[in-house]
Amino acid sequence: MIQLIYVSDFARELNQQDFDDILAVSTKNNDEQDITGFLVVNGQNFFQVLEGSKEQVFTLLESIRRDPRHQNLRVIISEIIEKRDYPNWSMGFVCNWYNYLSDDIKSVLIQYGKTQVFKLSHGKGLRGLLQGLG
Ligand code: FAD
């Protein structure tokens, strides 16, 4: 099993309906594929954690990458895991991020949204910060 975290940039201004649409299709499809994870938006970027079998996560990633609602998808970390961080979420979602998240997470999400190339330490740090959101 693997866990993958990516960041991408909104391709245009997105609204609540866009997020609801993404969440609805994700919850349904991911449940069928035994994929779990979390989606966070920071107003300009998506951050998504995907967990599941390597084949299914990478197949889904390529479908998500082609989605015209976002662009410039960068994988932050992809690693083998023994245990899921989000076993109960076919796709958890934080939309009202500014009110909901701690200052630590907010500042990392703002900084990472502008970052193009990530080191392993970035990914491990982000995974740790996001783990509490399950
Ligand atoms: P279709 O619905 O037939 O989609 C056909 C094409 O149109 C695809 O390229 C699709 O990306 C695009 N599309 C669909 N709806 C819209 C729309 N409202 N506006 C613009 N383009 C659209 N899907 C999951 O199953 N699991 C996930 O975890 C997941 N996470 C996502 C995270 C992000 C940040 C985004 C932007 C999308 C995510 N999606 C996820 C949606 C995914 O990209 C596909 O839309 C979905 O899987 C259905 O694709 P499809 O080709 O089977 O079907």
Cα 1 to ligand 1 centroid, rounded to whole Å: 23
State the pTM of this model: 0.94
Which one-letter amino acid corresponds to residue 85? D
| Average predicted confidence (pLDDT) for the chain | 95
Give residue 97's pLDDT: 84
Structure confidence by residue, pLDDT tens digits, 82-118 = 999 999 999 899 888 888 899 999 999 999 999 999 9
Question: Does pLDDT of 134 surpass 80?
Answer: no
Q: Give the residue among 43, 29, 14 at the shortest CA–CA distance from 91.
A: 29
pLDDT in tens, 44-69: 999 999 999 999 999 999 999 999 99
Q: With DSSP H G I counted as helix, E B as strand and the rest as coil, what are the percentages for the chain, rounded to 5? A: 45, 30, 30
Q: Please identify, by atom number, the ligand 1 atom nearest to the C-alpha of residue 8.
A: 34
Give, for ligand 1, the residue of 35, 63, 95 to mutate: max count of ligand atoms closer than 8 Å to Cβ.
63
User: Residue 103 Cα, ligand 1 centroid: separation in angstroms?
Assistant: 30
Q: Yes or no: say if 3 and 50 are a contact pair by the CB < 8 Å rule.
A: yes
Q: For the chain, which domains are there?
A: 2-131 (3.30.70.100)
Selected residue with higher pLDDT from 27 and 132: 27
Nearest ligand 1 atom, CA 21: 18
